[in-house]
A and B are shown apart, each in its own frame.
Chain A
Amino acid sequence: MHEWALAKSVIDAVINIEKEEELPSITEVVVGIGELQDIDIDIFKQAISDIKLNTPLNKARFVYKTIPAFLKCNNCGHKWPYKKSIEHLSEEERENIHFVPETAHIYIHCPVCGSMDFEMIEGRGVFIEEIKKAH
């Protein structure tokens, strides 16, 4: 699964940014899941539990938080929720955005001025939001 690669990126990143001796004291990792990529949360959770087993994070609890996605037009400044745009998308188009979110630029236009030139200001990708430690 493609969710598996994203889950692996989260665990590897935590392991890389924290000092090795601190890793076992991590009790909780809050993971932000951007709405834009339409990640299958159950598969993602399963992947995290499988991958963390053989790491110093095996005791850490992972908590998930959905981050709503917003787009902002670079041409006219209009800001709108991604949700509004997906109604018009076919299954295949959603699938493409699921794998490479930037393909949204192919299928979505600013609802006000029709421009393809927008930013994904919120909710693109997967993030580590918070790392909590026992001491």
Chain B
Amino acid sequence: MKRSKKRIEPRKIYVKTKYRNIEKILAISSGKGGVGKSTISGFFSMYLAQKGYKVGLLDLDLYGPSCHLVLGANIKEYPKEEKGVVPPVAQGVYFMSSVFYTENRPLVVRGSGLNDAAIELLTITNWPDLDYLIIDMPPGLGDILLDVSELLPARFVVITNQSRISMESVNKLISYIKDQNLPFLGIVENMKMIEDNFIEMESKTQGIFYLGKVDFYPDIEKYYGNKREFSNSKLYEDISKIWEKLNGKI
């Protein structure tokens, strides 16, 4: 009889095989904080759901989860269990977030704990057959970025503001994506306030696809959890234009 007695942690292996078949995983990322990753992730998911796609949204920003606000999801109720946990539906979007299990209290953990929690969520969530899985990434370049690039066949959509300070950090993420040869769909310019083409030019010189812009809407919060208002908004039009460009690439 042969035995192998090395302790094996099954979740990473499982996550790799489980998500291999979801072809369209979009990681909405930035490198820079506060540029609108969660806002775009949430509204983009709502947009796709309204177009009739089956969309999942996974909030992987475990230090500052916020997609539940954009979707207006009820976080008081536990997701139901069936062969894992079933993501509840908000605004037509299948939604999973750590907030269901933290009572919205702060999760103060070191990097390894962050990875463990993220991998747990990826393991236990029983997604339906999705057309798209949107992942709201945390700011910065670290633990979660590494997990997503190592475990999932995610394609990156990078969000920036039109400021040079924003682009300074965003460029670091872009270098990483290029260095690791990760699938890269392009860059979105969010909260655009002045007419200029700095980001567009910057994209050109770097050979990155410019996916378009979302203007700054001071009243954007009125669209949170409100698909009717959202679908009649200029914000919706901006997102729809981005979608047209993106769709050509995927």
Residues of chain A in range 106-128 having any CB-CB distance to chain B below 8 Å: 106, 116-117, 119-120, 124-128
- Residues of chain A within 8 A of B78, CB atoms compared: 95
Binary flags per residue of B97-118, CB closer than 8 Å to A gives 1, else 0: 0101111011111101110110
Which of A5, A6, A127 has the most B CB atoms < 10 Å from its CB?
A5
Residues of chain A in range 71-120 having any CB-CB distance to chain B below 8 Å: 74, 92, 95-96, 99-103, 105-106, 116-117, 119-120
Residue tally, chain A, CB below 8 Å to B:
42
| A1-B81, A16-B13, A125-B9 known; A6+B107 contact, CB < 8 A | no
Is A102 within 8 A of B113, CB to CB?
Answer: yes
Is A131 within 8 A of B102, CB to CB?
Answer: no
Residues of chain A in range 7-42 having any CB-CB distance to chain B below 8 Å: 8-10, 12-14, 16-17, 27, 32
- B5 within 8 Å of A by Cβ? yes
- Residues of chain B within 8 A of A120, CB atoms compared: 113
- Residues of chain A within 8 A of B83, CB atoms compared: 1, 4-5, 8
| A127-B9, A132-B2 known; A96+B120 contact, CB < 8 A | no
CB-based nearest A residue for B117: A102
Which of A8, A27, A133 has the most B CB atoms < 10 Å from its CB?
A8
Tell me the B residues contacting A by CB distance below 8 Å.
Answer: 1-5, 7-11, 13-18, 78, 81-85, 98, 100-103, 105-110, 112-114, 116-117, 120-121, 123-126
Tell me the A residues contacting B by CB distance below 8 Å.
Answer: 1-2, 4-6, 8-10, 12-14, 16-17, 27, 32, 74, 92, 95-96, 99-103, 105-106, 116-117, 119-120, 124-135
User: Can you spell out 26 A-B residue pairs with CB atoms less than 8 angstroms apart?
Assistant: A5-B123, A5-B125, A8-B84, A9-B14, A9-B123, A10-B10, A13-B8, A13-B10, A96-B103, A99-B100, A99-B124, A100-B117, A100-B121, A102-B114, A102-B120, A103-B101, A103-B117, A106-B107, A116-B108, A124-B116, A126-B10, A127-B10, A129-B5, A130-B4, A130-B5, A133-B2
